[in-house]
Chains A and B, each alone.
Chain A
């Protein structure tokens, strides 16, 4: 890639900026992946104008075809911003890359207008292709990282969301567990339960596993550990929500739950808990 090529492209971009923006804008907005529901036309236009300015500036100073020089810093920062904000809005990676790839056609158009020498035109088109492909790839890499961060944050949030300890009655706690009980989740479950036992002075805790799809030996071991730890804090546990298929599976696995009170439903467990705490719910005669 010659610098002359890049420099000349930069000049025509600056000269024909208006035409390019118009064409690019309509390509982006008409692209069938364009999510009009997720982003406004105005936002697209602003991002485009800013990008084109930084892009032609970087082209003018371009030193190598790897786009690693600091003349590309501003472009990369802007692209990272665009990718991350689109990832957050729920765009797919291809939607995000379309931002860059849809610039190809307008740039080809103005190149054909401005470079009549066929050899120069060929070089210019090649340069544009190489550079835009690299930048497009860059947006998808940033996008990927952005999604991963969002997903891992959501998982963290789920950790806390899905393990609420609720006080059912005086001295009775319930822990409705939902989802996969992997080791980091059970750690959180156990800690929040023990804390609540201390805070409320509860003597019974109901661990409800209705929402846990698979109870394998690891999950069983976590449950048994939680029960043992609660016992040390002075609270007995009842495991409820054991569906028939789970009960059969536990028996085949050979896991011994005989040291723990188990009940089919949370309601059954609640009755046992009331009895244990010498409490009673009565129907009021009217």
Chain B
């Protein structure tokens, strides 16, 4: 069962702060423990920053999930930026085309239960992550 909770714009640094606060709020509501909350918020922060810095801005969609007696939260980051032309390289620890540490994508993947990346050069990038209680 899914339930689209809300969509937030990711167009500025302030939007990233707001997105993090919303993720925290919904993670607490879903009943995540502190470690899971922190992991998920941090992953969201990484992906939101990429959406802004590399994707030229985009949107974050929240979905609340229920599977049996488990609750989950799904976040989808979408942009219509340049896309990623070498996914394998982008998914390598330490690889960056900017000035970052190159650990955002790989780190986010390690921090969450499910990680899904879709990208097409010239079209954009969509990354969804899911965390369960």
Contact = CB atoms under 8 A, between A and B. Distances in A.
B107 interface: yes
The DSSP consensus for interface residues of chain B is: helix
Contacts of A249: 35, 38-39, 42, 111
Interface string A238-278: 00000011101100111100000000000000000000000
B50 to A, nearest CB: 10
B100 A217 contact: yes
Interface residues of B, number: 23
Given A218-B100, A254-B93, A245 B107 contact: no
A214 B42 contact: yes
Of the four ranges (under 10, 10 to 19, 20 to 34, 35 or more), the interface on chain A belongs to 20 to 34
30 contacts: A180-B17, A182-B17, A183-B13, A213-B20, A213-B24, A214-B41, A214-B42, A216-B45, A216-B46, A216-B49, A217-B46, A217-B101, A217-B103, A217-B107, A218-B45, A218-B100, A244-B35, A245-B37, A245-B39, A249-B38, A249-B39, A249-B42, A252-B111, A253-B42, A253-B107, A253-B111, A254-B93, A254-B103, A254-B107, A255-B101
A246 B110 CA distance: 14
Given A182-B13, A254-B93, A248 B39 contact: yes
The 7 closest A-B pairs by CB, nearest first: A253-B107, A245-B38, A216-B45, A252-B110, A217-B101, A245-B35, A217-B103
Interface in B11-69: 13, 17, 20, 24, 34-35, 37-39, 41-42, 45-46, 49
Interface string A209-242: 0000111111011000000000000000000000
Interface in B83-133: 93, 100-101, 103-104, 106-107, 110-111
A254 B106 contact: yes
B116 to A, nearest CB: 18
Nearest to B45: A216
Interface of B: 13, 17, 20, 24, 34-35, 37-39, 41-42, 45-46, 49, 93, 100-101, 103-104, 106-107, 110-111
A104 B124 CA distance: 51
B98 to A, nearest CB: 11
Contacts of B42: 214-216, 249, 253
The DSSP consensus for interface residues of chain A is: helix
Nearest to A251: B110
Contacts of B37: 245
Contacts of A214: 20, 38, 41-42, 45
Given A182-B13, A214-B41, A254 B46 contact: no
A22 to B, nearest CB: 46
Most chain B CB within a 10 A radius of its CB, from A215, A220, A252: A252
A215 B20 CA distance: 12
A217 B42 CA distance: 9
Contacts of B34: 245
B39 A252 contact: yes
